[in-house]
Structure 1
Amino acid sequence: MTDDGWEPPSVLLAVDLVILTLRDARLHVLLVERGVEPYQGAFALPGGFLHDEGEAIEAAARRELAEEAGLFDVHLEVIGVYGEPGRDPRGRVVSVSHLAIAPRLPDPIAGTDAVSACWTPVEDVLSIPAHVKLAFDHRRILADGVERARTKLEHTSLATAFCGETFTISELQQVYEAVWGVGLDPRNFYRKVQNARGFIVAAGPMRRPQNGRPARLFKAGPIQALYPPMVRSAQIEHTVSGGHAVEIAPEGGERT
């Protein structure tokens, strides 16, 4: 308590992790089954409280990343800060949430206060109604993290990291469709990829499948920032609703 009678509020600081990868051509998020209250038995994003006042926030996030997923050398970036009153029944908890997105991540290992850990398709959590419900406000955090990942694919060459050393345009398109959650017109996609200078470069002879036409092979180009960006709203997209493909016109445009 200060001299004027003001007492600082009691606030706990935590980190939450949105860890994304592609598995079987679908975007997956790492979830843990909570082994303790609150929300014992419910699924949640991995995370936890800072160990002490001397632990840095990023250090806490990396510690949780190692404990919950066995991951170490993965790029982390802050999604945002979540501190609404009532978000945690244990008291006032402010969480600094981080995003990690990388290809070919291994099967997870449950942390100290988790019963299990598993990769779960993002659509199972973000669909309405959701097939998998998350504890706390973790659905909101996941939605924000997925949107950040989708934006990164618009403006960076991250998508090529999810392909092999060499890949076809069709394989690159599958990465965008999995992360963005839409179907893309192949002709428009090819044109936009070719217009992004330095995004991909030709690599060796054509791939000759058993059936169908030979396909040109490419590899990641020298640039990381895409110009022009691969903007989602710039072309007709298709999403899945009730098992059927539905056309979505570009923002401000009309269906063709």
Structure 2
Amino acid sequence: MSTVIFTLRRHPEQDRPAIVLPLVRRTRDPFEGLWALPGGWLDAREGLDATASRTLAETTGLTPSYLEQLYAFGDVDRSPTRVVSIVYWALLRADEVDAQVAAHAADGDAPENVEWFAAAELPELAFDHNTIVDYALWRLRNKVGYSRIAHGLLPDEFTLADLREAYEAILGRRLDPANFRRQVEGSGTLIPTESFRTGSHRPARLYRYNQDVELADRGPLARLVQPAASAESR
């Protein structure tokens, strides 16, 4: 069982957040010393979802807000003993990651050999884990066009700029701010709040998702991101 867990993280030297994920350094063969996705063996007494949650918590100390089965990977050359992996993918908000990491550090049980990497700049990983991450990113980019999947990476209230940057990080390309605003404001998926974010720039209104809209409801945002999703599918 392996899990690809994504979050958004803004690097101090960059003006946009990026998709990042935790990796665990292997301490034994095969692939000793290489980074790998967090995971572990399936317990015969557990269901798949329970095993995915348990192995993720044991290796990284993280409990995701979104967890979904991704795919089964079992190519004959992926492992010396041909181990078949059931892979899940998960989303966590940056504040949830920080809170969970801090809680484990305070308790003195922080997981070892775990580091965060930008999904676009991964080193060579153990097994076929580079391929698995690429597949998870492909699924994420396609899913963002017809669901509220980006909500799993954002706080409960966010600005339109926050939402656009999340889409840009997922899609790997810039979006026109004015066009994006028109699309999301006409989609019916967001509700403006009475709160504003203040700072060095002009105050920006905070929004929240309309929970009455179906997660898979196709609307203007699907058209906005469809070109990138179609290109990925070819």
TM range (shorter): 0.7 to 0.9
Who wins on radius of gyration, i.e. which is larger? 1
1:141: how far off? 0.6
* Residue of structure 2 in register with 1:27 after alignment: 19
Query: Structure 2: which amino acid aligns with 1:119?
Result: W
Query: Unaligned stretches of 5+ in structure 1?
Result: 1-14, 126-131, 238-249, 252-256
Which residue of structure 1 aligns with residue 117 of structure 2?
Answer: 120
Q: Residue 150 in 1 paired to residue 155 in 2?
A: no
Deviation readout 1:55-100 (Å, 9 max, x if unpaired): 33322212211101213364321111111112101x1211111001
Q: Which residue of 2 aligns with 1:188?
A: 179
Match for residue 92 of structure 2 among 89, 102, 114:
102
Cα separation, partners in 2 of 1:181 and 1:201, compared to 1, 3 Å:
same
Shift in alpha-carbon separation, 1:117–1:153, aligned structure 2, 3 A: same
Using CA pairs under 8 Å that are at least 6 residues apart, name the structure with larger relative contact order, 1 or 2: 2
Structure 2 counterpart of 1:129: none
Equivalent positions of 1:162-241 (< 5 A) are 162-197=153-188, 199-204=189-194, 206-207=196-197, 209-211=199-201, 213-222=202-211, 223-225=213-215, 226-228=217-219, 230-231=221-222, 233-234=225-226
TM-score (norm 1): 0.73
- Answer yes or no: is the 8 Å Cα contact 1:158–1:224 preserved in 2: no
CA RMSD of aligned residues (A): 2.5
Structure 1 counterpart of 2:173, one-letter code: V
CA contact (8 A) 1:43 1:134 kept: yes
Q: Distance in 2 between matches of 1:171 and 1:75?
A: 19
Structure number having the greater helix percentage: 2
Once residues 69 and 157 of structure 2 are traced to their aligned partners in structure 1, the CA distance between those partners, rounded to angstroms, is: 31
- Which whole-Å CA distance do the structure 1 matches of 2:65 and 2:76 have between them? 31
Does 2:50 correspond to 1:59?
yes
Match of 2:108 in 1: none
Q: Is the 8 A contact 1:206 1:216 kept in 2?
A: yes
Instruction: Report how many aligned residue pairs link the two structures.
Output: 210
Distance 1:183 1:85, change over 3 A: same
Q: Secondary structure at the match of 1:48?
A: coil
SS of equivalent residue, structure 2 residue 167:
helix
Which residue number in structure 2 is paired with residue 16 of structure 1?
2
For 2:107, the equivalent position in structure 1 comes to: none
Gaps of 5+ in 2: 11-16, 105-110
* Distance in 2, Cα, partners of 1:135 & 1:85: 15
Shift of 1:218: 1.9
Give the deviation of 1:169 after TM superposition.
1.2
Amino acid at match of 2:192: A
Deviation of 1:181 after TM superposition, in Å, equals 1.6
Offset of residue 224 of structure 1: 4.2
- Percent identity between the aligned chains? 32
The answer to whether the Cα contact below 8 Å between 2:145 and 2:225 also exists between their aligned partners in 1 is no
Give the structure 2 partner of residue 40 of structure 1. Answer: 32
